[in-house]
Amino acid sequence: MSDHVMNETPKTRRDFLFAAATAVGAVGAAVAVWPFVDSLNPAADTRALSTVEVDLAPIAAGQAITVKWRGKPVFIRHRTPQEIESARAVNAADLRDPQADDARVQKAEWLVMVGVCTHLGCVPLGQKAGDPVGDFGGWFCPCHGSHYDTSGRIRKGPAPANLAVPDYAFLSDTQIRIG
Amino acid sequence: MTAPGRLNKALDWVDRRLPLISLMKHSAIDYPTPKNLNYWWNFGSLAGFMLVVMIVTGLFLAMQYTPHVDMAFDSVERIMRDVNYGWLIRYLHMNGASMFFVVTYIHIFRGLYYGSYKPPRELLWWIGLVILLLMMATAFMGYVLPWGQMSLWGATVITNLFSAVPVVGDAIVTLLWGGFSVDNPTLNRFFVLHFLLPFVILGVVVLHVWALHTVKSNNPLGIDVKGPQDVIPFHPYYTVKDLFGIGVFLIVYCLFTFWYPNYLGHPDNYIPANPMVTPPHIVPEWYFLPFYAILRAVPDKLMGVIAMFAAILVLFALPWLDSSKVRSGTFRPWFKVAFWLFVVDCFVLGYVGAMPAEGVWIVLGRIASVYYFVHLLLILPLLSRYEKTRPLPESIGLPVLSREGAAKGAQALAVLFAVVLFAAPAVAAEGAPLRKQSWSWQGIFGTYDEAQLRRGYQVYREVCSACHAMKRVHFRNTEALGFTEEAVKELAASYTVTDGPDDNGDMFERPALPSDRFPSPFPNDQAAMAANGGALPPDLSLIVKARMGGPDYVFSLLTGYAPQPADVELPPGKFYNTVFPGHAISMPPQLTDGAIEFPDGAPANVEAVARDVTAFLQWAAEPELEERHAMGVKTVLFLFAATALMYALKRRVWAAVH
């Protein structure tokens, strides 16, 4: 019975209504998803905690310290003249991630970078005396064997890029603010 | 057309190995449904919809929540203030619980009226009651999680119900708590169970639907389906009708979520849990009130608990208590009257449950409790034996009954709801009358007045902050007062905060950063009490939400100081205040005419200053308000359009049946 009646009703209006209702419903559902997805992004308190100040005075040449910034280790190394020399001696164009040493530092003796291997996120060794430093005198990632030089550039192993340099500024000769 | 052909082939391949698609088609598309279901039949699918909403919002809340007594309250406030759209997700969840119960209760009363518990649907009915019990347990444990005053004391009172069990009662309660009071172990296990039970409910809902599809839906006439002329396929007829119902329902849900998110809650739950102080007026959430009234109606502890549980358990016996062969109340003139009296009785119980247990409310509570059981245990059995029912129609297909009955029912229910909803504030507003003000943030489009917020902040900084902390507000938040990023940095830097330990293990002082909280005037509560004659100046971050009457209360309190009446005796160190509960307040009057000078030249008499600081405190408690109102307007406009469209489509689809 119902089939019979339905065949008599003009199909077009129902088709249009059906398409419109489906479209509106789909748009509504899609928009409603966004707040839930965005709730997983960093919250306002996380975003606000983005700077850390570091006193460099106690770090002697050849020493390094690790500070925590945005939940990650930041390597700060007081480089010796030899380390600077060896970093500068490399022809940047030959590197996997070409970058000259002076593009990675603000003051040659201070190397500041995020201590997270660009391969899969492990923390490379080389901060402490006695750590393996890899074939290029910088850092060595024990997880999958990436070697970084004294400028923190990738020289050997699976990592695709140099250790990242965060935004930082010298507040005085012996103090920096990261972030 | 090869693509759909291939797709069909692939689906077919899957279906022959696991008949998922056949199952869907069988139970959600072809399912033969009586053609005469009225709108009361929408509430089952609405309840299912709410279960999904609660699980989804709950999952995202759980990703941000910390189930520890020291951090739970703060983590909820972080969700409200810092997590992107956290306020939306939490308010959807919080009000969603109420909405879930509204639709479920209506669904149950529909079953009661149309006799949906009678053969062959007994098992379907019992499974539904199991869902109700699981929902109650889940809702109760969820209310504990924010770890406010009502959370703690609600948990204490409800778990203590089990201490009424003879001999082993105390042992059971200790087991439930995992300690000697409601404490961290309790919160932890409640969180785990609150997470688990919704999925158990989901499983039982599958059984509920399975049982339904086995015995098929009841209908307003309560007569059996006689043949194919009585039924229509579930899709598109009832899918489109259910979607239209969801649209209407969402509008109501959104009104609460976006404009009255705390209307159904208790202000006390915005006070962090304190095991040393019980709030003066403990009331469960509204959906437990009728049962709470039955509990309190019995003057004996054990019997009260038994009566309360019996109120639900007795519903399991309904298929035998009401043995009338006629299912639908439509054809039972006396049952109909009894049914509506029972509905009224449940509302009376709910109202009594919200009132203090004294005077007339005790008597009324007892009468209503007795009537609850009299209806189920006496009136229903007698009616089913002696009532002369009206003749039943031949079939569903033949006489389409006038829809008047259902319409009348809907009207009656709407009136009852309205009465209860508007009576609730009357319950709330006991105590001294507040001086109601007109505030800029009220109304659908209400927003804050930035200049007023800045003035209010100045009052807080110059006056209130000497004693009151506001530790949930950060300097970075003051950008909402119209300060530039630079101004916020300068403002923060004008304060000194303690940080550390440094590399030597020492704490050190540094200028505050925008990411820091407003510094507290005292290092801890004990120091604050010692400096204030033993009274703790409350943290003001949430004070507006934590007090009945909200901004009107705060304003009335600040302007409510009066000379001590001759017949009132005040303890030493207390001041007379007309709106403070008990009238003896420890805070001396702080605002005086002209003590503050506003840079914008605004008046600085006591009234004006009190109004400005109240506005600032309102903002501190609900910093999301402007975003909430703006999103609410857009959402509701969209829902109106979508629902209208759904209604048009529904009429079109149903044109063939009507």
Interface test with B, best of A9, A38, A45, A66 (most B CBs within 10 A): A45
A47-178 topology per CATH: Rieske Iron-sulfur Protein (2.102.10)
Q: Which tens digit of pLDDT belongs to each residue from B181-193?
A: 999 999 999 999 9
- Going by C-alpha positions, the residue among B464, B605, B609 that lies closest to residue B539 is B464
B292-350 pLDDT, tens digit per residue, is 999 999 999 999 999 999 999 999 999 999 999 999 999 999 999 999 999 999 999 99
Enter the tokens of residue B459: 């009052």
Q: Is the dihedral of CA B650, B652, B656, B658 positive or negative?
A: positive
Q: Which residues of A139-173 are buried (b: 16+ CB within 10 A; e: fewer)?
A: bbbeeeebbbbbbbbbbebebeebbebeebeeeee
User: Which of A9, A17, A51, A69 is the mutation pick for testing B, counting most B CBs within 10 A?
Assistant: A17
Where would I find the H helices in B494-605? Answer: 525-531, 550-558
Nearest chain A residue to B231 by CA: give it: A2
- Between CA B622 and CA B628 the distance in angstroms is 10
Q: Is B7 helix (H, G, I), strand (E, B) or coil?
A: helix
- Between chains, do A43 and B82 touch, taking CB under 8 Å as contact? yes
Catalytic residue among A78, A119, A144, A147: A144
Contact B265, B66 (CB under 8 A): no
Q: Please name which of B99, B29, B75, B291 lies closest in space to residue B187, comparing C-alpha atoms.
A: B75
Q: Verify cis geometry, omega within 30 degrees of 0, for the bond prior to B120.
A: yes
Choose among A2, A28, A38: nearest Cβ to B84: A38
Whether the per-residue pLDDT at B403 is higher than 80: the answer is: no
Cβ within 8 Å, pair B515-A49: yes
Quote the pLDDT of residue A3. Answer: 44
Task: Report the C-alpha gap between B109 and B116 in whole angstroms.
Answer: 10
Partner-chain contact B641 A5, CB within 8 Å: no
Search chain B and give the residue with CA nearest A5: B656
Round to whole Å and give the CA distance between B34 and B40: 14
Contact list, B83 vs chain A (CB under 8 Å): 39, 43-44
B369: left (phi over 0), alpha (psi -120 to 50) or beta: alpha
- Quote ipTM for the complex: 0.89
Query: Which stretches of chain A sit within 8 Å of chain B by CB?
Result: 1-2, 5-6, 9, 13-14, 17-18, 20-21, 24-25, 28, 35-36, 38-41, 43-46, 48-51, 58
Phi, psi of A74 (to 5 degrees): -115, 125
Q: How far off is chain A from B475, nearest CA to CA, in Å?
A: 10
Identify the H or E element spanning B232: strand B231-233
* Greatest C-alpha distance within chain B: 94
Sheet containing strand A72-78, edge to edge, reads: A64-69, A72-78, A110-114
Which residues share a beta bridge with A67? A74
Span B459-503, pLDDT tens digits: 999 999 999 999 999 999 999 999 999 999 999 999 999 988 887
pLDDT tens-digit series, residues A69-97:
988 999 999 999 999 999 999 998 999 99
Name the β-bridge partners of A109.
Answer: none
Cα gap B176→B167, rounded to integer Å: 16
Q: Which residue of B has its CA nearest to A10?
A: B652
Give per-residue pLDDT as tens, B576-619.
Answer: 999 999 899 999 999 999 899 999 999 999 999 999 999 999 99
At B532, give phi and psi (nearest 5°). -125, 40
Q: How would you classify the pairing of strands B32-34 and B231-233?
A: antiparallel
Nearest to A39 among B60, B648, B652 (CB): B60
Match 């759904």 to its residue by tokens.
B646
Catalytic residue, candidates B107, B118, B194, B241? B241
Contact criterion met (CB < 8 Å) for A24 and B645: yes
- Out of B217, B328, B384, B556, the active site residue is B217
**Tokens 């970058």 belong to which residue?**
A99
Sheet strands (E) in chain A:
52-55, 64-69, 72-78, 110-114, 137-141, 146-149, 154-156, 168-172, 175-178
Band the pLDDT of A1: cuts 50, 70, 90: very low
Residue A62 corresponds to which tokens in the numbers above? Answer: 């050849």
Tokens of A176: 């920096």
**Cβ contacts (< 8 Å) between B649 and chain A: which residues?**
14, 17-18, 21
Q: Is B241 a catalytic residue?
A: yes
Q: Please report, as a single letter, which amino acid is at residue B141.
A: M
- Choice among B68, B213, B235, B281 that is catalytic: B213
**Which one, of B107, B129, B117, B110, lies nearest residue B323 by Cα?**
B117
Ramachandran class of B446: left when φ > 0, alpha when ψ lies in -120 to 50, beta otherwise:
beta
User: What gap in Å lies between CA B363 and CA B327, rounded to an integer?
Assistant: 34
Could you give the CA distance from residue B293 to residue B298 in angstroms, rounded to a whole number?
A: 9
* Residue A179, pLDDT score: 83
Angle CA(B292)–CA(B295)–CA(B296) in degrees, nearest 5?
90
Distance from CA of B478 to the nearest CA of A (A): 13
**How many Å apart are CA B252 and CA B414, to the nearest integer?**
13
Of the partner residues B78, B229, B503, the one whose CB lies closest to the CB of residue A43: B78
With CA atoms as reference, the chain B residue closest to A65 would be B503
Residues B458, B450: Cα–Cα separation, whole Å? 12
Contact A1 B84 (CB under 8 A): no
DSSP string, A97-147: S---GGGT-SBTTEEEEE---TTTS---B-SSTTS--TTTEEEEETTTTEE
Contacts of B60 in chain A (CB under 8 A): 36, 39-40
Q: Please choose, from the candidates B613, B515, B631, B485, the residue with its C-alpha nearest in 3D space to the C-alpha of residue B559.
A: B613
Tell if the CB–CB gap between B642 and A43 is shorter than 8 Å: no
Cβ distance A17 to B56 less than 8 Å, yes or no, reads: no
Q: Is A14's CB within 8 Å of B656's CB?
A: no
Closest CB from A36, A43, A48 relative to B515: A48
Average per-residue pLDDT for chain B: 93
d(CA B214, CA B209): 8
Which range, of A52-61, B187-196, B551-560, averages the lowest pLDDT?
Answer: A52-61
φ, ψ of residue A178 in degrees (nearest 5): -95, 135
Please tell me which residue, A1 or B122, carries the higher pLDDT value: B122
- On whether the pTM is more than 0.95, the answer is no
- Among B63, B78, B232, select the one facing A2 at the smallest CB separation: B232
The DSSP bridge partners found for residue B575 are B585
Question: Which residues of chain A neighbour B656 with C-beta distances below 8 Å?
Answer: 2, 5-6, 9
pLDDT at B658 over 90: no
Distance CA B325, CA B132 (A): 26
Interior angle at CA B597, CA B595 and CA B602, nearest 5: 115
d(CA B369, CA B183): 33
Any idea where the domains of chain A sit in the sequence? 1-41, 47-178
Tell if the CB–CB gap between B81 and A48 is shorter than 8 Å: no
Contact B618, B437 (CB under 8 A): no
CB contact under 8 A, A1 and B229: yes
- Distance to chain B for A118, nearest Cα, Å: 28
Please judge whether A28 and B648 are an interchain contact, meaning their C-beta atoms are less than 8 angstroms apart.
no
Q: Residue B259 and residue B95: Cα distance in Å, rounded?
A: 11
| Chain position carrying tokens 């048009």 | B648
Sequence-ordered list of residues with C-beta below 8 angstroms from that of B575, at least 6 positions apart, any chain: B561, B584, B585, B586, B587, B588, B589
CB within 8 Å: A35 and B85: yes
Q: Is the pLDDT of residue B555 over 90?
A: yes
Instruction: Give the end-to-end CA distance of chain B in Å, rounded to a whole number.
Output: 36
Chain B environment of A24 (Cβ under 8 Å): 641-642, 645
Determine the pLDDT at residue A48. 84
Question: If you measure CA to CA, which chain B residue comes closest to A38?
Answer: B84
DSSP state of A155: E
Mean pLDDT of A131-151: 94
**Residue B188 and residue B479: Cα distance in Å, rounded?**
37
Highest mean pLDDT among B277-281, B405-409, B639-643: B639-643
Residues B84, A35: Cα–Cα separation, whole Å: 7
The residue in chain B having the minimum alpha-carbon distance to the alpha carbon of residue A32 is B635
User: Scanning every residue of chain A, which has its alpha carbon at the shortest distance from the alpha carbon of B56?
Assistant: A36
CB-based contact B589:B563 (threshold 8 Å): no
CB B396 within 8 A of CB B228: no
Q: Name every chain A residue with its beta carbon within 8 A of the beta carbon of B638.
A: 28
Residue the block writes with tokens 């489009």: B445
Beta-carbon separation of A48 and B514 below 8 A: yes
Contact B88 A35 (CB under 8 A): yes
Q: Rounded CA gap, B318 and B116, in Å? A: 10
Separation of alpha carbons B308 and B349, rounded Å: 12
CA distances from B404 to B83, B409, B410, B416 (A): 49, 8, 10, 18
Query: Which residue is associated with the tokens 């699980």?
Result: B55
Nearest to B645 among A14, A20, A43 (CB): A20
Q: Which residues contact A91 (CB under 8 A, 6 or more apart)?
A: none
Instruction: Encode pLDDT of B28-87 as tens digits.
Output: 899 999 999 999 999 999 999 999 999 999 999 999 999 999 999 999 999 999 999 999
Residues 6+ apart with CB under 8 A from B120: B215
In one-letter notation, the amino acid at residue A34 is W
Tell me whether residues B656 and A6 touch, CB distance under 8 A: yes
Chain B residues whose beta carbon lies within 8 Å of the beta carbon of residue A15: none
Give the model's confidence band at B567: pLDDT under 50 very low, under 70 low, under 90 confident, else very high.
confident
Residue A5 has pLDDT above 50, yes or no: no
Chain A CA closest to residue B635:
A28
Clarify whether B242 is annotated catalytic: yes
The pLDDT of B133-152, averaged and rounded, is: 97
Catalytic-residue membership of B118: no
Residue B523 φ/ψ region, left for φ over 0, alpha for ψ in the -120 to 50 degree band, beta for the rest: alpha
How far off is chain B from A27, nearest CA to CA, in Å?
10
> What are the DSSP E strand ranges found in B461-539?
496-499, 508-511
Q: Under an 8 A CB cutoff, do A43 and B649 touch?
A: no
Please state the separation of Cα A126 from the chain's center in Å: 20
- Residues in A closer than 8 angstroms to B86, CB to CB, are 39, 43
For residue A106, count other CB atoms closer than 10 A to its CB.
Answer: 13
Residue whose structure tokens are 């007109």: B438
**Alpha-carbon Rg for chain A in angstroms:** 28
